[in-house]
Structure formats: C-alpha cells, structure tokens
Amino acid sequence: MSDPASSDVAFTPAVKAVQSCKGSRLAYARVEAQGGFETAVTAELATFLAEVDTAYLATASAAGQPYAQHRGGPKGFIRALDDKTLGFIDYAGNRQYISVGNLSENDQAFLFLMDYAHRRRVKVWGHARVVEPDAALLAKLMPEGYSGRAEQAILFRVTAWDVNCPQHIPQKLDAQDVAAAVHNLEEDVASLKAENARLRTALTQAQGHTKTGERP
C-alpha cells in the first residue's frame, strides 16, 4: 500500500468516491501522485500572509459540530513563526469563546485565507492551540500600532495547504487602499491644473507681447 498523500487531509475516501462519480478523480489523482498539497510554510505562503487582512478560522467540537469565525487585523497579522507554525493574536471580542472551547477538546483546525483585491484564496489544514497570556509571544505577534486588545494567542501547526483558483471570487478593494489611490489621483489632477494654469498665463503674456511688438 502506498503512503498517503498530504492531500488526503481533504480528499477522504468519501470525497474520492464523489470525485469518481463526478469525473474529477483522475485529475486529483495526478496531484496525489506528485505528493499532494504543500506541507510546510514556503516563501510563497509567507509572502501571501504578509498581504492578508482577512481569514476564517474553522474548528469543531468533540462531537463534530463545526464552527467558523472571522479573524481580521492589519495586513500580515497572521505570521509565520517557522516552517510549520503560524501564529496570530486572539483579540478581545464578544466573549463567546466558541473557537477556544472547541480547540480545548479538538485541536483540528482550518484556516481559509482571503485576498479579495487580487482574487486569491489559500486553504490551510492543521492543528491549533490557544496560548494564554504570554507577554513575549504577544509582543512578537501584535501588529505595530494596532488598537485591538490582545487576549491570548493562537498557534497553528500546519499539516497541509493549497491554493484555490480565482473562479467566482468577487473582487473587492480595501477602503484604505481606495482612499489612498483617490488621494494620489486628486494630487495629480491638482498638479496638472496648476501646470495648465501656468502655461495659459505664459501663453497669454506671450500673445500680449506679440500684439504690442514687445519681445516676451
């Protein structure tokens, strides 16, 4: 029996059966033959994380009840600590603690990372644990200048990750990025208007000198 591919974390026997029924099994068998999904934090993933400000953390209770929660922050708020570990701050929120409770009895977790501006998404499977207040770790993970209150940290041990195609991802731009782009355009327009006014004045003066026979 051959060793399981890393993609088996997603492609369970039930999933493979559906793929066979729907006609996509052969294509994904090729992925498995090449080793499956990535299993370590690569430079590509680290670069992607540096641009991510939106993620969804999925956990499940011991009974298998799923739960997904939005995680957000400044770009790069999820950080690669080594080639197998991601870390991010768990900020104080509505104090339901569903994700924290789930992880206390079932450490299997999933991160769905979104970049709407460039229509990219990355799926990360692994095991997560909550680290109660650890000043050194919180200082390492806390984004500079961010106003959120750090309650604890979550360390995510990567099992596998994969990139989705951009199909059906709506393109959405960050309001701050749009504001910055508009500001730059407004400055360019103001500069062009000022230059246009200067040239018009110079032209008017040159035409006046010509009519009176003066040299400009």
The pLDDT value given to residue 3? 61
- Residue 89: CB atoms within 10 Å: 24
Q: Is the pLDDT of residue 215 over 80?
A: no
Q: Is the pLDDT of residue 127 over 70?
A: yes
Output the average pLDDT for the chain.
90
Full strand arrangement of the beta sheet holding 120-131: 66-72, 54-60, 108-115, 120-131, 150-163, 85-91, 79-80
The pLDDT value given to residue 1? 40
Is pLDDT larger for residue 12 or for residue 204? 12
Boundaries of every domain in the chain: 1-36, 37-163, 173-216
What does the alpha-carbon distance between residue 138 and residue 24 come to, in Å, rounded to a whole number? 44
Two tokens at 63? Answer: 């009974």
pLDDT in tens, 41-71: 999 999 999 999 989 999 999 999 999 999 9
Is pLDDT larger for residue 181 or for residue 101? 101
State the DSSP code for 4: P
Q: Is the pLDDT of residue 122 over 50?
A: yes
pLDDT in tens, 160-182: 999 987 888 888 877 777 888 88
The pLDDT value given to residue 27? 94
Mean pLDDT to the nearest integer, 99-108: 97
| Domain covering 37-163, topology | Pnp Oxidase; Chain A (2.30.110)
